[in-house]
Amino acid sequence: MEALDLSPGEHRCPGPSTRDIIIADRQPVPEALLVEAPAYLGDEDIGYDRYTSPAFFDLEMKKLWPRVWQWVAREEELREAGDYVTYDIGPYSFLIVRGADDVIRAFYNACLHRGTQLRASDSSGFAEQLRCPFHGWTWSTEGDLQSIPCRWDFPHVRDDMFKLPQVKVATWGGFVFLNMDEHAVPLEEYLGVLPAHMKDGWDLGRRAVAVHIQKELPTNWKAAQEAFLEAYHVVETHAQNLPFAGDANAQYDLFGEHVSRFVHTHGVPSPHYPEAQTEQQIADKMHLPAGTIVPEGGTARNVAATWRRDNLGRKWGLDLSHYSDSEMLDSIEYHLFPNMCMFPGVSLPMVYRFRPIGMDPGRTLFDLLFLRPLAEGESHPEPVAPVRIAAQESYGSAPGVEPWLGATFDQDTNNLIQQYRGFHASKKRGETLGNYQESRIRHLHQTIDRYLNA
Ligand code: FES
Ligand SMILES: [Fe+2]
């Protein structure tokens, strides 16, 4: 058998690949969707200490987070001079402000008098000046010291030495990023293939935040996002999706140091699904309106994509006819190191972020956003305020999340709780990954190591 001659990492699920399925649609798709970039990165176990150890967490806080580009806001949250948001990660807190000169800056969110945060964590709004709530020291929105009560008592404070310290800021795709490292490579370089892949119709800058949910997950930030970097768990965790979702034949790509991707298809059954189905039977399970008919010779995939194109196009006042079935249906997920996932597709247009909370390696804040495309000429509406839900609350309880999708996210949360408990309980001290389907997880860890060892 030919398969025996393959090297580790080259084995694939029998049957049609993701690429075969997309090509069979016979539609032009963005070139990026036809690129394949698998890589075998080894098969050593990944130690559980990397998730649970305070020492490892501390190392990440010192050597990883201060040196990576991290998404901190959407540009539409900072439309007017004086608009600000705060961004916390681990012990760090930043205040991101659009200055009167229209420049977005990120300041360390701590007063230069006695350290008080200038704005509370998780706050956002508008400020003409940045005034500390403790004794009232005040800076301009560009970070220049403006006033100190009882200035006569501070002859040693010089205005030029007391500008608010800043970190680097850059924008791409409507996202504002910061990097604490003044020697960091420019964001465009850090993004690797992303700008090139996103340029054909996947302009995330022309999208608006339609839903923003925040949930605390009781696990490490890496474990939280790793549950979203593979489709290997679908067969066990989300078995309800097997009749219409390709999982074991999902495609995994690694692009340089900072970017990875999976593409898994919808409208085709999982290779795990045993029963033969007609295209009509597949369509019947895809959460389409009752009575949706697959015409003679048609496919469930095409019918579902067509319905979504019409339905979402009407809802958003957009012509979506240029999007292929794949872009309308499939889970196309890019990961940007270290903690951001984005889905440039149209019907599941999610963005994820996983941030450590405080100094506990077992606490993560999950931001889940849905970005809808803007209509031609439409300017960005007011961003929606984040809805915070408790760990036990269903995602389906948040406005804008369809029940079937909420239930799917809930299944993931349940796993994360038990997995983190198991990390501590396990006699075996590390996880054993699949060579292909879990390659993005290994890629993440190897890039982390490059930062920690630099
Ligand atoms: S701590 Fe900010 S003014 Fe005193
Ligand atoms: Fe999942």
Q: Among candidates 384, 389, 388, which has minimal Cα distance to 370?
A: 384
Q: Where are the beta strands (DSSP E) in 374-418?
A: 387-389
CA distances from 238 to 245, 252, 382, 408, 414 (A): 10, 19, 35, 7, 12
Smallest CA separation from ligand 1 atom 4, residue: 135
3-class DSSP state of 269 = coil
pLDDT in tens, 319-365: 999 999 999 999 999 999 999 999 999 988 999 999 999 999 999 99
With bands split at pLDDT 50, 70 and 90, how would you rate the model's confidence at 391? confident
Quote the CA–CA distance of 18 and 237 in Å, as a whole number. 21
CA distances from 55 to 44, 59, 182, 225 (A): 21, 6, 25, 21
With bands split at pLDDT 50, 70 and 90, how would you rate the model's confidence at 404? confident
Mean pLDDT on 237-256: 97
Task: Report whether residue 116 contacts ligand 1, using a CB cutoff of 6 Å.
Answer: yes
Mean pLDDT on 122-131: 97
Q: Is the pLDDT at 286 greater than 90, yes or no?
A: yes
pLDDT at residue 5, rounded to an integer: 86
Least confident of 84-98, 184-198, 246-260, 372-386: 372-386
Closest ligand 1 atom to Cα of 111? 2
CA of 230 from ligand 2 middle (Å) equals 8
H runs (alpha helix) in 291-402: 300-316, 325-329
Smallest CA separation from ligand 1 atom 3, residue: 135
Q: Is the pLDDT at 403 greater than 50, yes or no?
A: yes
Least confident of 63-72, 193-202, 280-289, 291-300: 193-202
Q: Among candidates 189, 174, 169, which has minimal Cα distance to 344?
A: 174
With bands split at pLDDT 50, 70 and 90, how would you rate the model's confidence at 128? very high
Quote the CA–CA distance of 429 and 46 in Å, as a whole number. 8
State the pTM of this model.
0.97
Radius of gyration of the chain (CA): 24
CA distances from 383 to 85, 248, 371 (A): 12, 37, 10
CA distances from 121 to 74, 108, 351, 403 (A): 17, 12, 21, 31
Percent above pLDDT 90 for the chain: 94
Least confident of 7-21, 53-67, 389-403: 389-403
CA of 325 from ligand 2 middle (Å) equals 22
Quote the CA–CA distance of 228 and 353 in Å, as a whole number. 11
Closest ligand 1 atom to Cα of 149? 3
Residue 235: nearest ligand to its CA?
A: 2
Average pLDDT, the chain: 96
CA of 238 from ligand 2 middle (Å) equals 7
Domains and their CATH numbers in the chain: 2-55+205-453 (3.90.380), 70-179 (2.102.10.10)
pLDDT in tens, 322-332: 999 999 999 99
pLDDT in tens, 78-100: 999 999 999 999 999 999 999 99
CA of 251 from ligand 2 middle (Å) equals 16
Task: Report whether residue 287 contacts ligand 1, using a CB cutoff of 6 Å.
Answer: no
State the pairing for strand pair 70-74/207-217: unpaired
With bands split at pLDDT 50, 70 and 90, how would you rate the model's confidence at 1? very low
With bands split at pLDDT 50, 70 and 90, how would you rate the model's confidence at 383? confident
DSSP letters of 62-123? IIIGGGS-EEEEEGGGG-STTEEEEEEEBTEEEEEEE-TTS-EEEEESS-TTT---SS-TT-
pLDDT at residue 3, rounded to an integer: 55
